[in-house]
Amino acid sequence: MIGANSRLLKKIRMASGDDLRGKRVALLGLTFKAGTDDMRDAPSIALAETLIDEGANIHAYDPVGMARAATLLPASVRYHASALEAARRADVLIVVTEWDEFRHLDLVRVKREMATPLLVDLRNLFSEEQVSRAGLTYCGIGHQSAWHGPAKIPESFRRLALRIPGAARSQRRKILVTAEPQRTTAAE
């Protein structure tokens, strides 16, 4: 996927502010397709390797394929017991495989867990409207997302989980959840 199509990597880079060094990236879905643990030609392999080469820290979840993925993905990949755990403190969440479980994620809760509310949907599993309603910035593949350019996430929302002490973090999240999300238009 990434090796054959550098446009996807460019889109991921651009959506996350052009620099992936030190960013926590959550990958949802590692297998070749949903409903199997088959890792043959799985796009997650090249994607994880490329993102790690770019300096990202990869956190991953797959409903069935993590055991097989662990033998093929770089050793630095961290595996989690749920999609929500993988998304915790992530700077960007990337949907790689279209598992039905991901369609039913509580996106508002996902946003609260993330350091930066950015979802890159490589499978067009979600609509931009659905993701935006939850307060996340959406970057879809194959169509122009409203952001269609460098990340439009206010700097004050970035990396909050790392800057705020644990005790104050939940209070800050309450403030962020009630804050009106910044609206952008394609003309900006």
Total domains in the chain come to: 1
Are 42 and 32 within 8 A, CB to CB? yes
- Asked if residue 126 belongs to a domain, the reply is yes
- Asked if residue 184 belongs to a domain, the reply is no
For the chain of 188 residues, list the mean pLDDT of each consecutive stretch of 10.
62 85 97 94 93 96 96 97 98 96 96 96 93 94 56 50 43 43 45
141: left (phi over 0), alpha (psi -120 to 50) or beta: beta
What pLDDT shows up at residue 174?
44
- Asked if residue 38 belongs to a domain, the reply is yes
- Asked if residue 185 belongs to a domain, the reply is no
What pLDDT shows up at residue 12?
84
Element (H, E) at 120: strand 118-121
The CATH number of the domain holding residue 123 is: 3.40.50.720
- Asked if residue 76 belongs to a domain, the reply is yes
Look up the domain containing 84 and give its range.
6-178
- Asked if residue 183 belongs to a domain, the reply is no
At 85, list the tokens: 């755990």
- Asked if residue 187 belongs to a domain, the reply is no
- Asked if residue 65 belongs to a domain, the reply is yes
